[in-house]
């Protein structure tokens, strides 16, 4: 392993935003594990594309809400060495106005974003700390900062990630590990196309456009680089001026 090449895990790597993050990190010279649960075909296609370009990537499949399956997959990864870059990107929407929200809708969103954060991050942390170098970035959301109708569950989950980020950053700061959160606004992905039309974007976003997955990936690529070593415990918004 060279000074610039690290082993990186991106959860939810098969989605539009996750795929952009995986590609950007791979092109920066890292060995990227593209995680997927339901999007296995997309993850494998991305890995094939990256390896065809001479980059280092492999697919990894598990459900972040399943503690045992996650632990088994992580043990397999750690057998080959510590993961020094972790991007907690896995997350889902299950929107409903709060009086009509079911317990299942609440729990599913919390489980993927917040329980998934614990199931993945906690077992990776000690091996990372032993190397005295690490970068943990978790994807929050502008919904955690401003709120959003119909997304009390999503805002709660993503807001909890911000709090966890700030607390964990304090615990590991002296060991060369940084912990930050990135809070995107409206990003042009398949997930957002049906939710935000042009008129809505023009009203909500001062820049009057959606952001791109590549722009978010660039920010994450900066945060996991050597020169971002003094940035920790921060929430970086990328939202076209919404906050």
Taking the chain, what is the end-to-end CA distance rounded to the nearest angstrom?
40
Specify the CATH number for the domain of residue 191: 3.40.50.720
Does residue 122 lie within any of the structural domains? yes
Q: Which two tokens stand for residue 140?
A: 């929050």
Q: What mean pLDDT value characterizes the chain?
A: 95
* Cα 146 off chain centre by: 19
Q: Which two tokens stand for residue 150?
A: 């119909």
Q: Is residue 154 among the annotated active site residues?
A: yes
Does residue 129 lie within any of the structural domains? yes
Does residue 2 lie within any of the structural domains? no
Q: What is the pTM of this model?
A: 0.95
Q: What is the pLDDT of residue 197?
A: 82
| Cross-strand bridge partners of residue 178 | 135
Which residue among the candidates 33, 61, 154, 230 is catalytic per the annotation?
154
Q: Which residues of 63-100 are buried (b: 16+ CB within 10 A; e: fewer)?
A: bbbbeeebeebbeebbeeebbbbbbbbbbbbbeeeeee
Does residue 1 lie within any of the structural domains? no
Does residue 29 lie within any of the structural domains? yes
Q: What is the pLDDT of residue 243?
A: 78
Q: What is the pLDDT of residue 191?
A: 62
Does residue 87 lie within any of the structural domains? yes
Query: Tokens 């989605």 correspond to what residue?
Result: 15
Q: What is the pLDDT of residue 196?
A: 73
Does residue 243 lie within any of the structural domains? no
Per-block mean pLDDT, blocks of 10 residues, the chain (243 long):
79 96 98 96 97 97 98 96 98 96 98 98 98 98 95 98 98 98 92 72 92 97 98 97 88
Q: What is the pLDDT of residue 40?
A: 96
Q: What is the residue range of 73's domain?
A: 7-238
Q: What is the pLDDT of residue 2?
A: 46
Closest among 195, 218, 207, 217 to 242, alpha carbons compared: 207
Does residue 188 lie within any of the structural domains? yes
Domain count across the chain:
1
């Amino acid at each position: 392993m060279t000074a610039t090449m690290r082993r990186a895990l991106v959860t939810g790597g098969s989605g539009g935003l996750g795929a952009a993050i995986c590609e950007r990190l791979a092109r920066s010279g890292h060995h990227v594990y593209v995680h997927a649960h339901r999007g296995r075909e997309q993850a494998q296609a991305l890995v094939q594309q990256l390896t065809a370009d001479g980059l280092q990537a492999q697919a990894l499949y598990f459900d972040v809400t399943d503690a045992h399956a996650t632990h088994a997959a992580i043990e397999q990864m750690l057998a080959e060495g510590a993961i020094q870059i972790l991007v907690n990107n896995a997350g889902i929407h299950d929107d409903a106005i709060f009086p009509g929200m079911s317990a299942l809708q609440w729990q599913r969103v919390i489980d993927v974003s917040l329980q998934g954060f614990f199931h993945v991050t906690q077992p990776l942390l000690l091996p990372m700390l032993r190397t005295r170098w690490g970068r943990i970035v978790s994807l929050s959301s502008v919904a955690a900062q401003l709120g959003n109708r119909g997304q009390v569950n999503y805002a709660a989950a993503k807001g909890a990630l911000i709090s966890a980020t700030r607390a964990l950053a304090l615990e590991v700061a002296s060991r060369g590990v940084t912990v930050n959160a990135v809070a995107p606004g409206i990003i042009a992905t398949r997930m957002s196309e049906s939710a935000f039309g042009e008129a809505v974007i023009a009203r909500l976003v001062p820049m009057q456009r959606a952001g791109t997955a590549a722009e978010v990936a660039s920010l994450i690529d900066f945060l996991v680089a050597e020169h971002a070593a003094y940035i920790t415990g921060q929430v970086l918004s990328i939202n076209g001026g919404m906050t």
